[in-house]
Amino acid sequence: MTDAATDTSKNTSTMTSETAAGHTTVEIDRPGALPTAAQQAAAAKDKVLTSPDAIEAARSALGEITEPLSVGRYAASRQLDKRLITHLFECNLTGYRGWRWAVTMSRPPRGRTATICELELLPGEEALLAPAWVPWADRLRPGDTTRSDRLPRRETDERLEPGWEATGEEEGDTVALDELDLGRARVLSAEGYRRAAQRWYDGDHGPDAEGVRKAHATCSTCGFLVPMAGRLRNTFGVCANEWAADDGRVVSLDHGCGAHSETDLPDQGPEWPVAPSRLDEEAMEPLATNGTDLRGGHGRDEAGAQEQQEQAESAPAGADAAPEESAPEESAPEPEAASASQRAASARDAVADLALEREHHDATQRPAAADALAQLEASLPTRS
């Protein structure tokens, strides 16, 4: 890169604005940017204009148009022409970050005294500037207009080309309008087709849109795709599925979504899985299916009489001497209460049977134990 090219890159800022016709590049000049090393070396050759006295004179001159504290340290010097030097100082003013004070000085041929020509505040590399002015026709972007806005006619538009013009012959014009449908003054040119196809294919309705890779099939095999006519019929179509996100829009044939006409998802089942029930047969207690079996083959009246008899036998002796009081007539026990009473009576009967068996066992074993003890004593030696 040459010094001139480096100077241009240092002192200007490039802004690019996209328009419907292409790209427009606008360069913003930043004269307060630091000079290149070559520019500083060229300025240093002028010993008079770059001497410490000249720099101090430039600083003193800035103190006459602004507060001395707003002038910061000395930055650099740039040669504008023969015997014409600009000195740059940092700016300390609030809100002017990146700006620099500039003092341009000159001298006559063979002169030994520097003369101040101009004092100014210039934007540097980090200075905040307004964007470059772009004409309205180039600044307007696709999507900025609404249906109620009206755009001016563009006589020269590379996206369009002449369609058909009336020839004045009635027969020929009738054929063109009725049969060939050539009633439009201008139609899409090859460039217009190319731009539209590229824009649609690279947009949200092309193969690289978000979510397309998850689709199991493309729009070319979907029954909701309405084919297009003309040059774009082999690449695009219109979606006619009201459940699709692209309904009513132009989509590429290799586009896709989850609303494909042949989509078939397997049954997902309930939201919460149901675990199969488990049955522990060892912990099961067999129960009868009728009341008679639950009461051991006895009827309800017999079971009630037996329970009353057991309660009378277990009552204390003083209970008989107590005066009898007329008790209110009890209602028939509930099925659950009768079942609980029956189980309690069965448990008491089982305990009584165990007690009888134990007494019988002790009575039969006692004589045998006594005979064995007598035989043992007889076998023992006696004392002399």
- pLDDT range class, residue 146, cuts 50, 70, 90: confident
Containing H/E element for 313? helix 300-314
Is it the case that residue 115 has pLDDT exceeding 90?
yes
What pLDDT was estimated at residue 2?
38
Q: Are 30 and 125 in contact (CB under 8 A)?
A: yes
CA distance 217 to 258: 9
In terms of Cβ atoms closer than 10 Å to its own Cβ (0-12, 13-18, 19+), residue 155 is exposed
Give the angle 312-318-321 at the CA atoms, nearest 5°: 90
CA distance 218 to 215: 7
What pLDDT was estimated at residue 319?
47
Q: In what order do the strands lie in the sheet with 250-252?
A: 225-227, 236-239, 250-252
Q: Tens of pLDDT along 263-295? A: 776 666 666 666 777 777 777 776 666 666 666
Q: What is each CA distance from 46 to 8, 83, 103, 118, 167, in whole angstroms?
A: 23, 7, 16, 18, 77
Q: Given the structure tokens 């998802």, which residue do they identify?
A: 265
- Tokens encoding 67: 């507060």
What pLDDT was estimated at residue 174?
61
Identify which of 8, 72, 80, 92 has the alpha carbon closest to the alpha carbon of residue 40: 80
Q: Of the ranges 118-127, 172-181, 233-242, which one carries the lowest mean pLDDT score?
A: 172-181
Q: Mean pLDDT highest for which of 146-150, 217-221, 260-264?
A: 217-221
Query: DSSP string spanning 78-121?
Result: EEEETTEEEEEEEE--TT-TTEEEEEEEE--TT--S-EEEEEEE
Q: Are 70 and 89 in contact (CB under 8 A)?
A: no
State the helix-helix crossing angle for 335-379 and 300-314, rounded to 10 degrees: 50
* Mean predicted confidence (pLDDT) in 359-381: 64
Contacts of 245 (CB under 8 A, 6+ apart): 257, 259
Per DSSP (E only), the strands in the chain are 12-18, 23-29, 71-81, 84-91, 99-106, 115-123, 160-162, 186-188, 225-227, 236-239, 250-252
CA distance 332 to 271: 49
Q: What is the mean pLDDT of the chain?
A: 76
Q: Which amino acid belongs to residue 292? A: T
The percentage of the chain sitting over the pLDDT mark of 70, rounded to a whole number, equals: 64
Is it the case that residue 322 has pLDDT exceeding 50?
no
Cβ atoms < 10 Å from Cβ of 219: 27
- pLDDT range class, residue 314, cuts 50, 70, 90: confident
Please indicate whether residue 151 or residue 48 has the higher confidence score (pLDDT). 48
What pLDDT was estimated at residue 139?
79
What pLDDT was estimated at residue 141?
79
Contacts of 100 (CB under 8 A, 6+ apart): 32, 75, 88, 89, 90, 91, 121, 122, 124
